[in-house]
Amino acid sequence: MSGTERQGACLCGDVKITAKMSENGVGVCHCSTCRKWGGGPFLSTDCGTDVALMGEENIGVFNSSDWAERGFCKKCGTHLFYRLKETGQYIVPMGLFENGDDFVLDHQIFIDEKPAFYSFANETTDMTGAEVFAKFAPPS
């Protein structure tokens, strides 16, 4: 593993995560699926593929689309990751990590699906859903 090591756990502590990350950027996803999944915008960080999960017997996985799956603790229900199937890349909720004061909110995606009742004050790079798919979606 290279980069900054981050550690965290679910609410009950039966699933632990260790990730090595080269960046400290935080993103917000406003898509309807993420908002339905967590009750609000999904604040997360890209952990790449250098991720270790302990307590795998307690991890449930939901196949949420053709390209990604979402993991959760089967005991306490904590959201653990959004994982891209093709690359194995982990996008991890910020709330799992301890000592995250050096993170920086720097981008928002699916900004066109963001409800009008909330807004973030941070200066961010914003992308619509169409821009996200054009940049990241695997070719059909």
CATH code for the domain in which residue 28 is found: 2.170.150.70
Domain, as residue range, for 101: 4-136
User: Residue 89 half-sphere exposure, CB side, CA atoms within 13 Å?
Assistant: 12
| Number of domains the chain is built from | 1
Asked whether the beta carbons of 76 and 14 are under 8 A apart, the reply is yes
Distance CA 37, CA 44 (A): 13
pLDDT digits (tens, 9 = 90+) for 49-92: 999 999 999 999 999 999 899 999 999 999 999 999 999 999 99
User: What is the mean predicted confidence (pLDDT) over 110-130?
Assistant: 96
Q: How far lies 94's CA from each of 69, 99, 139, in Å?
A: 18, 10, 29
The pTM for the full model equals 0.90
